[in-house]
């Protein structure tokens, strides 16, 4: 079970969301901020840090660009500064848990399959809390079972432009990923808490910080 | 003892009864017991007593009304949820009222429904619920209570709130009084995929139209609750933060609780006690999530204070926010429901 108000930085660094960050400190973080001080109001919406990041413009987790929840936990949909046990159907694509998609349900219907391991034919699913939507280039998306996830599935703003270079300062629609490769193994973004180190991340993920969309698409 | 509230209720009931000429109060049968007006239906005990069942006034929960409810779980197909939405609790109330001021009685029969599925060869409930409220003439409520009392006596059933000793016969007595034509309110709790979060909501049906309920002290028609401590600890939060009994709501969160000074903590625990007191709060004075979380909240508070509590042990699991129903397979009956039931008996006795 996750204590939603205490996310140790060491455990945060165990997740792929750990960020090695060398920018100078921004505004003073609130007292319950549990992430690196430099991450507060740094232009990127950070979630799972125990307090609301002023960079986050949405009250729900669809605005999260990075999260610092421990392994096995993800931002809570309705209070993204808090964390909750990750589960298929919670609306958050937990890549560390092997999820390829998440359409807010653990059913074969909709854009994502029942265990969140694959996108259904004819659908596009985004990262993090972007949900799924029918692929506009496909006439009849795979309906699976009842299309129970219609409302959630349609609620995404997935950017399908592969070379979109939106800045990282916006909401989820800006795409990109919140992880950053740090081959040195240092965890300077989480240095205060320990030595779990930042996991190595692929280049595409690193470039995600610049706002390049990374979508999972099935035809 | 006739309390001031009882006197107000009695007066309101007299007015309500006089207005309905064919609802003359019948002669009293056996003395009523709590189990005659509030009881559980054992999981799987009755083959057809759920959302799709036809009552005397239509289907218990029309599909169009059910579809207005947020998906009760994330792991079950909507059709399956609807078909397996079973009645697990029955409550009679000759004088439901909400808010403050003059008592205006709404005689009701309320059905508590939960999705029930077979797992491992035995029925188990999902941690989600629908409450269906039916407007029933006060004379019918009283006669139904009497019939249930006779049934209890005939089967030597429990006088305390529990799983009914003769569920099929009991539900057969209830069915003629309920159905879509009398359905006036639906409230629900849906469960998140993680089983650590829930959404509370509800709507009234007024002249055939749905009107979302805005709980008192909440600026939204939906409340979101998370409770992640399980059996290890209490760590929950309600969004939007309730404005009524705000200290009690804060106390549910572990970090907020630890930062409270002694006076604030005392006020918070007093707030939990008020939430479980129908004389202090009703659905018109406090939000749903606060009321539902108060049971496990008080359990943990009393255990922390002295290591003993009268709250049932099923509420040791801080994810149990059930008032009347089943937590997996375990009956869960909140002290508030017991207190409300005593008030119902007072109201019926005052007639």
Average pLDDT over residues A11-29: 51
Q: Are B151 and B175 within one domain?
A: yes
- Phi, psi torsion values for A166, nearest 5 degrees: -60, 150
Contact B178, B109 (CB under 8 A): yes
Smallest Cα–Cα separation from B197: which of A149, A80, A172, A58? A80
DSSP state, B321?
-
- The predicted-structure confidence for B235-257, as pLDDT tens digits, reads as follows 999 999 999 999 999 999 999 99
Inspect the interface and report whether the beta carbons of A90 and B194 lie closer than 8 Å. Answer: yes
Instruction: Give a yes or no: residue B88 inside a domain.
Output: yes
DSSP conformation letters of B172-214: HHHGGG-SGGGEEEEEEEEE-TTSSEEEEEEEEEETTEEEE--
Range of weakest confidence among B8-12, B66-70, B86-90, B173-177: B8-12
Which residues of B2-84 form beta strands (DSSP E)?
38-40, 54-55, 58-59
Instruction: Give a yes or no: residue B239 inside a domain.
Output: yes
Contact A175, A166 (CB under 8 A): yes
Measure the CA–CA gap between A32 and A25, rounded to whole angstroms: 17
- The predicted-structure confidence for B36-71, as pLDDT tens digits, reads as follows 999 999 999 999 999 999 999 999 999 999 999 999
Q: Are B142 and B255 within one domain?
A: no
Range of weakest confidence among A126-140, B64-78, B135-149: A126-140
Contact B163, B175 (CB under 8 A): no
Chain A nearest-CA residue for B234: A3
Q: Are B263 and B232 within one domain?
A: yes
Q: Are B256 and B304 within one domain?
A: yes
Instruction: Give a yes or no: residue B280 inside a domain.
Output: yes
Chain B nearest-CA residue for A7: B255
Instruction: Give a yes or no: residue B80 inside a domain.
Output: yes
Q: Give the minimum alpha-carbon distance from B257 to chain A in angstroms, rounded to a whole number.
A: 12
Q: Residue B306: give the domain boundaries.
A: 221-318
| pLDDT confidence band for B102 (50 / 70 / 90) | confident
Q: Which residue has the higher pLDDT, A143 or B332?
A: B332
Measure the CA–CA gap between B1 and B270, rounded to whole angstroms: 25
Measure the CA–CA gap between A151 and A136, rounded to whole angstroms: 16
Inspect the interface and report whether the beta carbons of B237 and A79 lie closer than 8 Å. Answer: yes
Q: Are B101 and B41 within one domain?
A: yes
pTM of the model: 0.81
Instruction: Give a yes or no: residue B216 inside a domain.
Output: no
Question: How much is the pLDDT for B71?
Answer: 95
| pLDDT confidence band for B15 (50 / 70 / 90) | low
Instruction: Give a yes or no: residue B202 inside a domain.
Output: no
Q: What percent of chain A has pLDDT over 70?
A: 53
Q: Are B176 and B265 within one domain?
A: no
Give chain A positions within 8 Å (CB) of B224. 77-79
Instruction: Give a yes or no: residue B214 inside a domain.
Output: no
Q: Are B255 and B340 within one domain?
A: no
Q: Are B10 and B50 within one domain?
A: yes
Inspect the interface and report whether the beta carbons of B228 and A6 lie closer than 8 Å. Answer: no
Contact A17, A127 (CB under 8 A): no
Structure tokens belonging to residue B332 = 């869960």
Q: Give the minimum alpha-carbon distance from B208 to chain A in angstroms, rounded to a whole number.
A: 24
- Mean pLDDT over all residues of chain B? 92
DSSP state, B120?
T
- Cross-strand partners of B224: B199, B239
Smallest Cα–Cα separation from B229: which of A1, A7, A84? A1
Question: How much is the pLDDT for B1?
Answer: 33
Q: Are B336 and B278 within one domain?
A: no
The enclosing H or E element of B170 equals helix B167-174
Measure the CA–CA gap between A211 and A219, rounded to whole angstroms: 24
pLDDT of residue A198 exceeding 90, the answer is no
Instruction: Give a yes or no: residue B67 inside a domain.
Output: yes
Q: Which residue has the higher pLDDT, B27 or B231?
A: B231
Q: Are B14 and B92 within one domain?
A: yes
Q: Give the minimum alpha-carbon distance from B336 to chain A in angstroms, rounded to a whole number.
A: 28
Query: Which of A76, A82, A155 is the mutation pick for testing B, counting most B CBs within 10 A?
Result: A76
Average pLDDT over residues A196-217: 37
Helix, strand, coil percent values for chain A (each to nearest 5) = 15, 10, 75
Q: Are B109 and B79 within one domain?
A: yes
ipTM of the complex: 0.84
Counting the structural domains of chain B, the total is 2
The enclosing H or E element of B35 equals helix B34-37
Interface of A with B (CB under 8 A): 1-6, 32, 76-79, 82, 84-91, 104-107, 109, 145-146, 148
Measure the CA–CA gap between B152 and B172, rounded to whole angstroms: 14
Query: Which of B83, B126, B192 is the mutation pick for testing A, counting most A CBs within 10 A?
Result: B192
Measure the CA–CA gap between B2 and B17, rounded to whole angstroms: 19
Q: Are B140 and B16 within one domain?
A: yes
């Amino acid at each position: 079970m996750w204590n939603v108000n205490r996310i140790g930085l060491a455990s945060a660094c165990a997740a792929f969301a750990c960020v090695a960050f060398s920018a100078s400190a921004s505004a003073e973080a609130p007292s319950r901020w549990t992430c690196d001080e430099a991450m507060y109001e740094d232009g990127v919406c950070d979630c799972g840090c125990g307090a609301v990041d002023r960079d986050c413009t949405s009250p729900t987790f669809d605005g999260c660009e990075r999260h610092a929840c421990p392994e096995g936990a993800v931002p809570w949909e309705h209070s993204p500064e808090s964390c909750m046990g990750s589960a298929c159907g919670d609306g958050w694509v937990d890549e560390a848990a092997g999820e390829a998609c998440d359409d807010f349900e653990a059913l074969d219907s909709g854009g994502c399959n029942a265990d969140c391991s694959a996108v259904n034919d004819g659908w596009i699913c985004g990262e993090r809390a972007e949900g799924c939507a029918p692929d506009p280039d496909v006439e009849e998306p795979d309906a699976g079972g009842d299309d129970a996830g219609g409302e959630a599935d349609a609620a995404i703003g997935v950017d399908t432009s592969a070379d979109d270079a939106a800045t990282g300062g916006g909401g989820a629609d800006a795409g990109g990923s919140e992880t950053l490769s740090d081959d040195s193994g240092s965890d300077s973004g989480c240095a205060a808490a320990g030595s779990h180190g930042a996991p190595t991340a692929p280049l595409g993920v690193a470039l995600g910080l610049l706002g390049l969309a990374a979508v999972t698409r099935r035809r | 003892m006739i309390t001031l509230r009882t006197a107000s209720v009695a007066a309101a009931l007299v007015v309500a009864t006089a207005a309905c000429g064919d609802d003359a109060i019948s002669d009293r049968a056996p003395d009523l017991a709590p189990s005659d007006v509030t009881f559980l239906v054992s999981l799987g005990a009755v083959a057809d007593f759920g959302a799709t069942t036809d009552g005397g006034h239509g289907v218990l929960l029309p599909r169009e009304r059910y579809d207005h409810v947020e998906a009760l779980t994330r792991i079950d197909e909507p059709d399956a949820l609807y078909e397996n939405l079973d009645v697990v609790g029955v409550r009679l109330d000759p004088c439901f009222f909400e808010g403050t001021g003059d008592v205006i009685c709404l005689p009701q029969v309320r059905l508590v429904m939960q999705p029930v599925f077979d797992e491992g060869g035995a029925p188990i409930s999902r941690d989600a619920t629908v409450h269906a409220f039916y407007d029933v003439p006060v004379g019918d409520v009283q006669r139904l209570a009497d019939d249930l009392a006779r049934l209890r006596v005939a089967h030597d059933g429990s006088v305390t709130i529990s799983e009914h000793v003769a569920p099929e016969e009991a539900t057969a007595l209830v069915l003629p009084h309920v159905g879509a034509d009398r359905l006036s309110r639906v409230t629900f709790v849906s469960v998140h995929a993680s089983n650590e979060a829930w959404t509370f909501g509800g709507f009234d049906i007024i002249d055939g139209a749905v009107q979302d309920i805005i709980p008192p002290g909440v600026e939204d028609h939906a409340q979101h609750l998370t409770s992640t401590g399980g059996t290890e600890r209490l760590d929950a939060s309600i969004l939007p933060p309730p404005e009524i009994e705000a200290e009690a709501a804060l106390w549910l969160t572990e970090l907020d609780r630890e930062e409270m000074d002694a006076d604030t903590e005392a006020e918070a625990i007093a707030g939990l006690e008020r939430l479980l007191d129908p004389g202090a709060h009703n659905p018109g004075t406090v939000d749903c999530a606060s009321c539902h979380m108060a049971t496990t909240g008080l359990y943990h508070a009393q255990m922390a204070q002295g290591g003993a509590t009268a709250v049932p042990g099923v509420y040791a699991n801080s994810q149990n926010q059930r008032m009347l129903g089943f937590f997996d397979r375990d009956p869960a009956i909140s002290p508030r429901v017991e207190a409300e039931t005593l008030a119902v008996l007072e109201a019926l006795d005052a007639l």
